[in-house]
Structure formats: C-alpha cells, structure tokens
Amino acid sequence: MSIFGKFAALSARYDRLKQSGADPFSVKFDDILSSVEGVVRGKKTLLFGTNNYLGLTFDEVAMEMSADAIRHHGTGTTGSRIANGSYKVHAELERELADFYRRKHCMVFSTGYQANLGMISTLVGKDDHLFLDADSHASIYDGSRLGHAPVVRFRHNNPDDLAKRLRRLADQPGDKLIVVEGIYSMLGDTAPLKEFVDVKREYGAYLMVDEAHSMGVLGRDGRGLAEREGVEDDVDFVVGTFSKSLASVGGFCVSSLEGFEILRLASRPYMFTASLPPSIMSSTISALKTLRREPERRTKLTANSRRFYNGLRGAGFNVGPECTPIVAVIIDNPDIAVAFWKRLLEEGMYLNLALPPATPNASAFLRSSVSAAHSDEHIDFAIALMTRIGREFGLLPNETNVCPFPVSAERLGATAATARALPTAVGAGAGMA
Amino acid sequence: MSEEKNELLAEISEVLETVVNRRVELRTDMNIVNDLGLDSIAVMNFCMALEDKFDISIPLHDMASVVTVDDLAKTIQALRSNA
C-alpha cells in the first residue's frame, strides 16, 4: 500500500463527486475581470463566493501603491522578521491597524490562518485551558492542536454551555482563553458577544474574537462585531485577516494587554515563516484607509446583503439564521446541491459549495458572499437564476409566495446550537475561507 | 465485570446513541473510531455529550489517547474520581 493509502476513503468520495461532472475544489478561472466578475470556460461569470466584501481587489490607489512598493522595495522579504529584519512598512501596517482598533499593540502574520495558529498556540500553555466554539474555523482548531493547552469545546454560540464548562474547571489553576468568531464563515451567523463577555467576566477568562468575516462589515466604523455590540473593552485579543475586506493576504492580532510584544519571540508561526512582501502590505494599508474613509461601502454592502438574503428567502429557499454578507442556502440532499452548484456555474454564477461532513446535520450549503461591488442588477440576476434552478430541481414551488421550508430564525438558531461542528480539517468547506 | 462498570458502559451507550442516532451494542474491546464508525467530528461531539452526562471535563487531548471503549470507561472513571 502506498503512503497515500490512508486517503483511500477521501479519494473515493472525491472520485464520486467528479463522476457527477462537478469539481467544486478545482474551479479554474481563465481570468478575473473585476471584484465581482471572472471568466470560467470562456464564459463571463458573476462571482458570489469571494469574501471580497468591500470590493477592493481592483482599487486603483491600492494597485498603484502595491506596484510602487515593488519598484522601490522589491518583490519579497525572502525571510522572517526575526532573521531578516523588518521593513518600515511592517511597522507602518501594524501602527495603522493598532490605530484603527484603538489598541496599543499589533502583530502582523503572513496569513489569517497563521494569525490564529500563532496566537492560539502561544497564548495558552499546558497549565492553561482553551475554550473553543464547536463550529470554529479550521485555523482555530489547528492552533489548538499546535499548542499545549487542554482544549474544551462548547456548543456553538451558546454562552450558558460555555459557562457550564468553565464552572467545571473553575478550581483549576492557570489562565483560560475563550475563542469565538464575529461572523461564522459557513452560515453567516454572529456570536452572542455580550453574553459571552458576561461569562468571560464571571470566570475571569480572556476573550479572543476572530473578526475575519466581520472586519469592514459590522460596526459603525467597521471594526466588527465587538464594535457593533459595544464590548470592545472586554475583548482582549482581536484577530483578523487581510484576505477579505482588505483584499490582499495576511493576518493580524491587536491587543492592549501589557506584555504583548514578547509574543514576537514566542509565537512560532510568526517567527519561522517569511514575512509579507512590501507590495501586499502597501495595498493592505491603502485598503484599510479606504475602509475607514468610505463608510458608504459598508452601507452598500449591508443593503446588498439584505437584498440578496431577503430575495432568496422570499423565493422560498432555506437560508441561514441571520442576514449578513454570508448568505447560505441550505439544501438537505448533497447530491442536489452538487448538481445545483454545477448548473449555476454553467449559467454564469460562481459561489462556494460546502458539503458534509463539513456542514451540520448532513445537509449541504450553497454559500455566497455578497460584495459592496455587486450592483442591484447582479443581485437580482443571482436571485432569479437560483430561483429558476431551484424550481427545476423541485426545491421551490412554482408559486413564490409559498415557502416549503418555513424555518424561523429561532428554530434555526436552536438547531445550530445543537448541531455538529463545522469544518475542522476534513471535507468540503474546511478551511475554505 | 463489576456491576459498576456495567452501569458505566450502559451510560456510555446511552450517550453514544444520542450522538449517532442509532442503537449501539458496546463491548469493552471495541475500537471507538473503527468499530463504531465515528469520524473526528463525531468523536468530539461524543466527548462533549459525555462531559455533560457525567459533569466532568474531558479535554480533547485526553480523548486522543482513548482507543477502545475500555480506555474510555477508565478515563471517565479517573476523571470522576478526581472531580
């Protein structure tokens, strides 16, 4: 048996998927035309699966700054900051982020994944405890595996369940770190952050919020869920990414806690990887300035999200529990979801397909991310197309005023609270975002 | 096998059935992953349900060293006696 024999079951599943004529894991874009349009198999395709929330990937100023950085500082740093040193732009980016979040400290990582890996694996050690939401992103789980702290999982978005688990370990020495996400990447639901803060205070734990999908999206100034909920002072660490609203690649953590800077000599995913190239950091600084200067992008994003979410729900689709830029259509039968996804691509719409076991309750998700760069026409096209195909597949009745899946936010929230974990390391959507 | 252990196995079975939604006949020598067909997420959910059933904390790395049903029973017994 070859060294790859252990993947036999995964290979078999993938082969079955490919035999159905769809391969959602290796979509090839002939070209990318704008933040929301690409070309697939020669056909102009509307992009609804990019996490490009503010539509800044083709921002003129950011592109110019990026090109200028290459001309003046070269294409790469060719090493880590502890070995090769830091450029001015590293410090500038960290200063800009700290200023935006009104925090004293910021560390920049080479990817958002590494920001979680680097922070979670380092902040808590073997004598501490780490508390993770069951539906945490793969990067959070992987951070927990890289570190040495005992890991306790609590039920998704359930502060009472977290409190129960903290109570069981109340007498244990060591620090306790709770990790939650601003917006969860599969269903688009937000964490009940005020309630989590109450629990954190009661048990004297530290709280980290991953605002990867909520930065630039939630809060009056775009700082995310903690800003929207008015609990920023109680969030000890904010981690985030540059690869969504800021339209590049990289990650960060900000905090005002005394002693934070020592992590630069302790966090291995920070220390032992090449630092971001100047071009990336320059465009990221530009995008952050645009995020702050143009709140109208956030207004448009919110309006677009509402138009799409309400449009799909009104058509009778079973959508996620909350309206955020992540709009997931839940389809019970994964085979239908695969065929549906394939048809959408053929008709000129690209979105993400999430399949079990990466989804709760053996259902599949057609997962879209809305952008401020989408026009009303883009969104209406997408709703009309999905509705037409939904009817073809018998998922929707012909009359749009009849909802075959009457799911209230309350009921769906309750399901989510008891649902299986979302992606860890296996299956479709795992680590996708 | 002691009566206490039989009782514990029955309780573990009960918890497992709520996680996998089917009847399960547990034997102490069963391999939790291979014989019970639990994937990594199911194991973590099983762990969470056991924590609530016995009001204990089973950190995920403790679960990683559990291979058989007997290992699991011993782990739970140890954690309960420490509680």
Which pLDDT tens digit goes with each residue over A23-68?
999 999 999 999 999 999 999 999 999 999 999 999 999 999 999 9
pLDDT tens for A89-99 read 999 999 999 99
Residue A2 has pLDDT above 50, yes or no: yes
Nearest by CB: A151 against B41, B56, B59 = B59
CATH 3.40.640.10 positions along chain A are 60-293
Chain B contacts of A164, Cβ < 8 Å? 52
In A, minimum Cα distance to B51 occurs at A165
A325 close to A315: Cβ distance less than 8 angstroms: no
Catalytic residue status for A244: yes
A426 touches chain B (CB under 8 A): yes
Dist CA A229 CA A225 (whole Å)? 6
The pTM score is: 0.91
Per-residue pLDDT at B83:
60
Residue ranges of chain A assigned to CATH 3.90.1150.10: 13-47+294-417
pLDDT at A399: 59
Q: Tell me if A215 sits within 8 A of A245, measured CB to CB.
A: yes
Residue A155 touches chain B, beta carbons under 8 Å: yes
B40, B52, B61 ranked by CB distance to A151: nearest: B61
Catalytic residue among A213, A300, A374, A378: A213
Residue pointed to by tokens 């508390």: A131
Chain A residue with minimum CA distance to B56: A168
**Side chain identity at A377, as an amino acid letter?**
E
Chain B residue with minimum CA distance to A418: B45
Element (H or E) spanning B77, and its range? helix B69-82
What CATH number belongs to A60-293? 3.40.640.10
Is residue A284 within 8 Å of residue A242, measured between CB atoms?
Answer: yes
User: Model confidence over A321-363: pLDDT tens digits?
Assistant: 999 999 999 999 999 999 999 999 999 999 999 998 777 677 8
Task: Kindly report the backbone phi and psi dihedral angles of residue A209, in degrees, each rounded to the nearest multiple of 5, phi listed first.
Answer: -120, 125
| Set of chain A residues whose Cβ sits within 8 Å of the Cβ of B61 | 150-151
Q: CA A290 to CA A51: how far, in whole Å?
A: 17
Top-confidence residue, A136 or A410: A136
A168 min Cα distance to partner chain B (Å) = 6
- Do the Cβ atoms of B40 and A155 come within 8 Å? no
Residue B42: list chain A partners with CB under 8 A. 420
The CATH number for A13-47+294-417, chosen from 3.40.50.10140, 3.20.20.70, 3.90.1150.10, 3.20.20.140, is 3.90.1150.10
Read off the pLDDT of residues A394-424 as tens digits, 9 standing for 90 and up: 999 875 444 444 433 333 333 333 333 333 3
| Helix B40-54 vs helix A159-168: crossing angle, to nearest 10 | 70
* Yes or no, beta carbons of A150 and B60 under 8 Å apart: yes
CB contact under 8 A, B57 and A165: yes
Burial class from Cβ neighbours inside 10 Å (0-12, 13-18, 19+) for residue A303 reads middle
C-alpha distance from A365 to closest chain B C-alpha (Å): 18
| Mean pLDDT of the B71-77 span | 92
Phi, psi of A49 (to 5 degrees): -140, 55
What is the predicted ipTM?
0.91
According to DSSP, the β-strands at A31-32 and A251-255 are: unpaired
Q: What is the mean pLDDT of chain A?
A: 92
Task: Find the residue in B nearest to A138 (Cα).
Answer: B41
pLDDT digits (tens, 9 = 90+) for A204-213: 999 999 999 9
Active site residue A136: no
Supply A312's token pair: 């799909």
- The reply to whether A213 belongs to the active site is yes
Give which of A10, A151, A424 to mutate to test B binding, by max B Cβ within 10 Å.
A151
A374, pLDDT greater than 50: yes
Most confident of A17-26, A161-170, B21-30: A161-170
CA distance A112 to A155: 24
Report the chain A residue with the minimal C-alpha distance to residue B39.
Answer: A357
Torsions phi, psi for A240 (to 5 deg): -165, -175
Of A129, A150, A357, the CB nearest to B39: A357
